[in-house]
Chains A and B, each alone.
Chain A
Amino acid sequence: MSEIKIPIGPQHPALKEPESFSLTLEGERIIDAEVKLGYNHRGIEKACESRNYIQDIYLIERICGICSHSHSTCFVQAVEEIAGVEISARAQFIRTIVAELERIHSHLLWLGVAGHEVGFDTLFMYAWRDREAVLDILALISGNRVNYGINTLGGVRRDIDKEQSRKILEIIKQLTERTEYYIKVATNEPTFSGRLSGVGKLSTEKAKELGAVGPTARASSIERDVRRDDPYGAYAQIPFKVITDNHADVLGRTIVRVFELLESYKMLKYLVQNMPEGALTVKVPRRIPAGEAISRYEAPRGEDIHYVRANGTEMPERVKVRAPTLANLAAIREMLRGGFLADFPIVIAAIDPCFSCTDRAIQLVKDNGAETVDWRQLRDYSIDWHKKRGIDLSRI
């Protein structure tokens, strides 16, 4: 068969966000790949320059639906560094708890997507069902499922009380069992591991050279993790291991993520049990003094970098965001080349490109006009609806 060029994207079932790949195929084998990005460029960096710092937190939180906390924390850290503000230990802990919960929900989401990309929908359903539990906790703590809005300059906006802590520990216990089961599935199910191993190879040298970050780099035995190398939040005080793997393929990336889940559960347990007392916020001036700072954060997908320059006014002079996916995209071509067309979706998914999440408040239109339903009512309504039909979902 001669060479053919097929377009994947900007709209394609394998891609959850618009990106465009042009693959050159020889039969089923990929001989070259070209990437076109930028469909989601919304000019956020420019928009930040014309808003004040508080507004920017919420704008930056909406860069990504999944790592919303990562971006806002990273930005807030940079601004606090310029302002010379030291936030309380309790606020650090709360930020870190939300960060780890976010990592768990992101990794579970990834596991489900990975299953779906290789046609293993059962894993997709299972992983996403468990992810619901984490989202419930996040909603309990912050009032929101994806854009938590917990960060503010100088601390956090909401406290975590005893009841919420207990709930977190409870869910962690459940999830630990489930995750151990997934580890068994990922390593023992022959069709699944057969689809992952040896696919999307990225050698240690190449990963270093192309600047891969996060689980993608760690699966190529590069031991880099901002949480340990450049500690922020409460990470300097909590014990944890940096997970690496030497498979250097999609299987390795899966293993790293799943074991990171287990590590996150342990960290959360420690965080919840050792939470110090203290104020939630400290005062930060409205005008941030002139200066510059660069802040790093280990998002679920890898290292997130924010550079902020202040000019003494209420608005920043320049905000630069380097999301982890951008760093990993340079390596995509290397990973795709020489692989099979069938492996294309899972290779792309394995760097975990950022996906968007939808809003969840709905409007019910009844005879006498519209009615807005909040999350709890909606959930109760759905449980009730299913119960009437003989299915009890309240314990799932």
Chain B
Amino acid sequence: MEIVWTLLYMLVFPGFLFLTTYGMICEWVDRKLYARFQSRLGPPWFQPEADFIKLLSKEEIIPEAANPVMFRLLPLFALASVLTAFLYLPIWNTAAIYSFSGDLIVVFYLLTIPTLTFFLAGWHSTSLFATLGSVRNVTQLFAYEVPLLISLLGPALLSGSWSLSEMNQFFVERPILLLVNIIGFFVALIAVQGKLERVPFDIPEAETEIVAGSFTEFSGKLLGIFRLAIDLELVVAATLISVVFLGGSFGLHPVLGFILFIVKTLLIVAILALFRTVMARIRIEQMMKFCWRYLAPISLFQLLINILVKAWFL
């Protein structure tokens, strides 16, 4: 019986089936908002699904110089790691399906794996544009990863737990403390934009410079799976931020909690869409400068606030 439930969790809800559907809805919301901000019409609601199905039906071309095994496996790695990460996140209540002390770090590293697969994918394509893109992927990883981790540590420090479920429970009991993390919230939003490789941080796949970066040589199903993984990453990142900084479901009735989850993640997607509307793509060296000179110190400052708050009030 246990196994059936586990499979159900993994494959249907909140696992693969739910996550892919919701991921595509989020992609649509993002694209639609982006379009409306630009006074365009935007795509119809089924556009992400249609894109995905179309990609599945397309021919797969693997370059002769590329390593075919790696080429086929990497998209699956990306997808699997994001799916796994989602299972550790509380959704409709304060407890995740699987949780243990320290799962914050696990989720964080599971979210790093897609970036690494992008790097490997680009590197194994052996094409010039893909190689350049993969180098940019890793360079960018070093820029946003530290501010993101530090900003997530702030709430963890305050709640005295490394488990996402326990953190959530802690903040649900003391919602006023969420206000303390407001700086960290914005740092995390910006860093996540870098993680998701969206404007202004879409440097690794800058279309006008290096065609499609790491994905230049990918086509058909393989590209489709990568695209899906990126959609899911958006959902996972939005959920992570909602759980850590916005109190998740607030421990309400599961149905209400679920609605709250939808509202919060869509809100975060909307904010991210706004970011990419109002900015131009920056250069990689501008991004390094920005992340290390401003974002990292600001997140450290947040950590300091949290230490002081914890020392005096808790």
Contact = CB atoms under 8 A, between A and B. Distances in A.
Direct A–B touching, Cβ under 8 Å: yes
Interface of A: 1, 4, 6-7, 12-14, 28, 115-123, 125-126, 129, 189, 191-192, 194-195, 340-345, 386, 391, 396
13 contacts: A13-B211, A28-B285, A115-B280, A116-B208, A119-B200, A119-B202, A120-B199, A191-B281, A194-B282, A195-B286, A341-B132, A342-B283, A391-B41
Interface in B281-299: 281-286
Interface stretch (B32-40, B231-239, B240-248): B32-40
Contacts of B207: 13, 119
A118 B211 contact: no
B286 to A, nearest CB: 6
B53 interface: no
Interface of B: 37-41, 128-129, 132, 135, 199-200, 202-203, 206-211, 277-286
B44 to A, nearest CB: 10
Nearest to A123: B280
A192 B282 CA distance: 8
B33 to A, nearest CB: 12
A195 B211 contact: no
Nearest to B277: A122
Given A13-B211, A28-B285, A342 B280 contact: no
A386 B278 CA distance: 26
Given A6-B129, A344-B209, A119 B281 contact: yes
B200 A191 contact: yes
Nearest to B127: A6
A122 B208 contact: no
Given A13-B207, A342-B203, A396-B39, A120 B284 contact: no
Contact of A117 (B199, B202, B208, B279): B208
A6 B132 contact: yes
A386 B40 CA distance: 11
A195 B283 contact: yes
Contact of B285 (A123, A189, A340, A345): A340
Contacts of A396: 39
Contacts of B37: 122
Contact of A126 (B39, B206, B209, B279): B39
Contact of B206 (A4, A6, A7, A342): A342
Q: Which of B207, B208, B277, B285 has the most CB of A within 10 A?
A: B208
B282 A195 contact: yes
Nearest to A29: B285
A126 B38 contact: yes
Contacts of A195: 280-283, 286
Contacts of B279: 120, 189, 191-192
A117 B206 CA distance: 9
Nearest to B37: A122
Contacts of B129: 6
A120 B281 contact: yes
Q: Which of A14, A28, A129, A391 has the most CB of B within 10 A?
A: A28
A52 B156 CA distance: 81
A123 B200 CA distance: 14
B283 A343 contact: yes
B287 to A, nearest CB: 10
Given A126-B38, A129-B39, A386-B41, 14 more contacts: A13-B207, A118-B208, A118-B280, A118-B281, A119-B202, A119-B208, A119-B281, A120-B281, A125-B39, A191-B282, A192-B279, A194-B280, A195-B286, A340-B285
B285 A122 contact: no
A117 B40 CA distance: 19
B144 to A, nearest CB: 16
A343 B279 CA distance: 16
A297 B199 CA distance: 40
B199 A119 contact: yes
B24 to A, nearest CB: 21
A251 to B, nearest CB: 12
Nearest to A124: B38
Across the A-B interface, the 7 shortest Cβ-Cβ residue pairs:
A119-B281, A120-B280, A125-B38, A345-B208, A14-B208, A192-B280, A191-B280
Contact of A13 (B128, B200, B208, B277): B208
A116 B282 CA distance: 12
Nearest to B139: A28
A125 B276 CA distance: 14
Nearest to A120: B280
A117 to B, nearest CB: 5
A19 B272 CA distance: 36
A342 B129 CA distance: 12
A298 to B, nearest CB: 28
A191 B279 CA distance: 6
A123 to B, nearest CB: 8
A183 B282 CA distance: 20
A97 B200 CA distance: 39
Contacts of B208: 13-14, 116-119, 345
Contacts of A118: 208, 280-281
Nearest to A193: B280
